[in-house]
Amino acid sequence: MSLGIDVGGTNILAARVENGEIQEKWKLKTKKGEVIKIIEGIIEENEEKIVGIGVPCYLRNGICVKAPNISELDGKDLGHYFKRAIIMNDCTAMAYGEYALRGGKYDPLLLVALGTGVGAGLVFKGMPYIGKGSAMEIGHIKGFFTQRCKCGKTGCFETVAGGKYVNVEKNAKRAMNGDKEALEFMKDYGRIVGRGVSYAIQLLDPEIVIIGGGISNAYELFIEPMKEELAELLSIIDVDNIIFERAKSEYSGALGAALIAERGLL
């Protein structure tokens, strides 16, 4: 039995996991300034010795260098606060959770999370891939105009695809009601996401690409233009040989965090 916690800017999701499956799950509001206290509470209330926590942070050597949406975590060594927990990037956890939900069938698995910001996770040969600790930060690939990003640099992919910078959710709602301008917006959005994701696909040659995060609710409105853009941009790799799917569960981050901790994969 293990416990997985997925810390997000709006909600903190937790799951008790046994035999690779979620037995119980719950959701708490992310309260500013109380995030560490809330996580401590969840860990204390549950007796599981194995705990995995996914955090929306730029991680370096186990330290949360910056958490753009949860400033309380900035600069914190989370291993110091949660001694028995394995700390990981939230997208790493989500990628592994989605991998497990598909029975480990697809590998390499690339997960792209489109939310307030843009992140990614990779499972390769059954293992979450984090490089030296900070791999897969797809949101900070450069070459996308000149807007300043929260990471301190300019021109990041996230500044044209993250909900913090572009109003995707509002346009998605309008597009669902048939608004032509909003439909066009969503097509353009798909193309720009395709451009960003093309760099990762060209490098990693994944078997499956999963779109997660809040914006994935509008998956149908942008996936086709995204694939069209990929068809134009990818060399050697054929976009029709890649499986594209939407994330299966809101709790895949919590599930993945628990399994990565339980299986000692990081």
Q: Which residues bind Zn ion (CB under 5 A)?
A: 140, 149, 151, 156
Residue 262 C-alpha from the chain's centroid = 20
For 199, the token pair is 């760099």
Q: CB-wise, 151 or 231, nearer to Zn ion?
A: 151
Q: CB-wise, 130 or 151, nearer to Zn ion?
A: 151
Q: CB-wise, 156 or 226, nearer to Zn ion?
A: 156
| Minimum CB distance to Zn ion, residue 7 (Å) | 20
Per the listing, tokens 């810390």 go with 7
| Minimum CB distance to Zn ion, residue 74 (Å) | 15
φ, ψ at 71 (rounded to 5°): -60, -20
| Minimum CB distance to Zn ion, residue 192 (Å) | 15
| Minimum CB distance to Zn ion, residue 2 (Å) | 33
d(Cα 172, Cα 174) in Å, to the nearest integer? 5
Task: Classify each residue of 197-210 as buried b or exposed e, where b means 16 or more C-beta atoms within 10 Å of its C-beta.
Answer: bbebbeebebebbb
What's the DSSP call for residue 85? E
Q: CB-wise, 38 or 151, nearer to Zn ion?
A: 151
| Minimum CB distance to Zn ion, residue 149 (Å) | 3
Q: CB-wise, 146 or 235, nearer to Zn ion?
A: 146
Under 8 Å between Cβ of 119 and 58:
no
